[in-house]
Amino acid sequence: MSGTPPPTGGFVRRIGLFQATAINMSQMCGIGPFVTIPLMVAAFGGPQAVIGFVAGAVLALADGLIWAELGASLPGSGGSYVYLRQAFQYRSGRLMPFLFVWTAMLFIPLIMSTGVVGFVQYLGYLAPDMGRTTGDLVGLGMIALVVLLLWRGIEHIARITTVMWAVMIASVALVIIASATHFSADRAFTYPSGAFELTSNHFWLGFAAGLTIGIYDYLGYNTTAYMGAEIKNPGRTLPRSIIFSIVGIMAIYLLLQIGTLGVIDWQRMTDPGDIASTSVASAVLEKAWGKGAADVVTVLILITAFASVFTGLLGGSRVPYDAARDRVFFRPYAKLHPKHRFPTLGLATMGVITAIGFLIGRHTDLATLIQLLTTVMVLVQALAQIAAATVLRRRQPGLRRPYRMWLYPVPGFVALVGWLVIYGYADKNSPGRHPIEWSLAWLALGCVAFVVWARFEKVWPFGPREVREEYVERPVGEGVGAA
């Protein structure tokens, strides 16, 4: 077998570096920072909330380097599914990739549902008399429109994504510029007593909550990794799109957070009755440039929110396809649209789960939804993928690695600590919600589903383990055996 990546299974490589970076950035900087700045301030209890975005950036970059190495080496459709399948096939057969797809079918749509919640939240600034039922219907209609627009070929979607990326850049740039024109250093950098008291349990609870919110805001730096089979020259494009998008979004978030805190008193952001607690960017624009400008930029923010849901479902819908095509998930998910070549059932399923998550988020609160999706994601994706990078270096030394993560294994260790902090403090930051228990229950249900599926498919533990090293470079004439 040569070092050339295996066939893409019907996908076409049409996405270049600019479009790939735009897809990542559009997914990362959707509605997230516009709705989580007040949550971050509430978690820390003051403008020192900037710490949360910095910590989130450090974790995103450390984890992003892991994604960059794995994505460049294994550029298949499905992202983590491919990486976990290759790394853990030697001992547990198809268990880990199956569990990843099982959990991804939940946490990816939940991430998208938070974007829809934020969309409706900001729409409330333009339509303050909008009732809860109307808001629910608007959110469901938005999800239906996203699915409808994704029901087409990838070449059309790439052009749409580039336009949405430009709108996203315009919306955040206008908020940053507006905040700069009315910036008060005293307001932004005057901290409450004990803000940096590292011996206080309150500080570390706030830090854990802030880290969770921060990494949520950066999620999406890996979107193009799920689309590895549709990326041009993935060995170079994937790592660059991940690193460029993280660095770019980090700069945007810091300017956005500090600028906002320099215009709006942080106490207003923690007051549920104040518009700054739900539509802080609109409040900044209204104070800086007046209501008319605030209305215009709010429309751009709504388009940005739409773009994040659009790109998230674009990448996420590819996850179950490759797994099902390789008989590692339910077979109906292996079908592509006969004309436009996109996974129909994966897109439809994630659209439905997004709608359910949106309704849950609307009738509980956004912070709880964020805690739930991060705890579900940590176990089978984040932690398992850190291990996968190490396992693959040992098990597949002949794997072509166009990119190797910098300072290995330091990024893996930093990411491990960060994800464990998020998971360990989840219940303490969500009293009465029990996100850890829900994540473990979903994982246990996935194990039961795997046993039933494995029995039907007659694979390990009800059949032999199959080892397929299809990405490994081998001398001509040397085959790949089964174990």
Which residues, including other chains, have CB under 8 Å from residue 337's CB and lie 6 or more apart? Answer: 151, 343, 344
Q: Which of 258, 184, 183, 195 is nearest to 33 (CA)?
A: 258
- Distance CA(307)–CA(34), nearest Å, equals 14
Q: From first to last of its 483 residues, what are the pLDDT tens digits of the chain?
A: 344 455 455 667 878 898 899 888 877 877 788 888 999 999 999 999 999 989 999 999 999 999 999 999 998 777 888 899 899 999 899 999 999 989 988 888 988 898 899 899 899 999 988 988 999 999 999 999 999 888 865 555 667 767 777 887 888 899 999 999 999 999 999 999 888 888 888 889 999 999 999 998 998 898 888 888 888 888 899 999 999 999 999 998 999 999 999 999 999 998 888 888 888 999 999 999 999 999 998 998 898 888 878 877 887 787 788 778 888 888 888 888 667 667 888 889 999 999 999 998 888 777 777 888 888 889 889 999 999 999 999 999 889 999 999 899 999 999 999 999 999 888 777 766 788 888 899 999 999 999 999 998 898 999 888 888 888 875 544 444 333
**What pLDDT sits at residue 447?**
95
pTM metric for this prediction: 0.85
* CA angle, 408 then 412 then 416, to 5°: 160
Contact 264, 283 (CB under 8 A): yes
Question: DSSP letters along 145-202, please?
Answer: HHHHHHSS-HHHHHHHHHHHHHHHHHHHHHHHHHHHHT--HHHHH---TTTT-TT-HH
Token pair listed for 257: 């957070």
| Residue 479: predicted pLDDT | 45
Kindly list the distances between the CA atom of residue 89 and the CA atoms of 35, 81, 134, 482, in Å, as whole numbers in the listed order. 41, 12, 48, 11
Q: Which amino acid is at 226?
A: Y
Model pLDDT, residue 245: 93
| Signed CA dihedral, 193, 366, 30, 125: sign only | negative
Which amino acid, one-letter code, is at 309?
Answer: V
Residue 352 has a CB neighbour count (10 Å cut-off) of 13
CA dihedral in degrees (151, 156, 157, 159; nearest 10)?
-160
The C-alpha atoms of residue 408 and residue 393 are separated, in whole angstroms, by 11
Task: Count other Cβ atoms within 10 Å, centred on residue 393.
Answer: 17
pLDDT at 474: 58
**pLDDT for position 287:** 92
Written as six digits, the tokens of 302 are 């709504």
CA distance linking residue 338 with residue 450, whole number of Å: 29
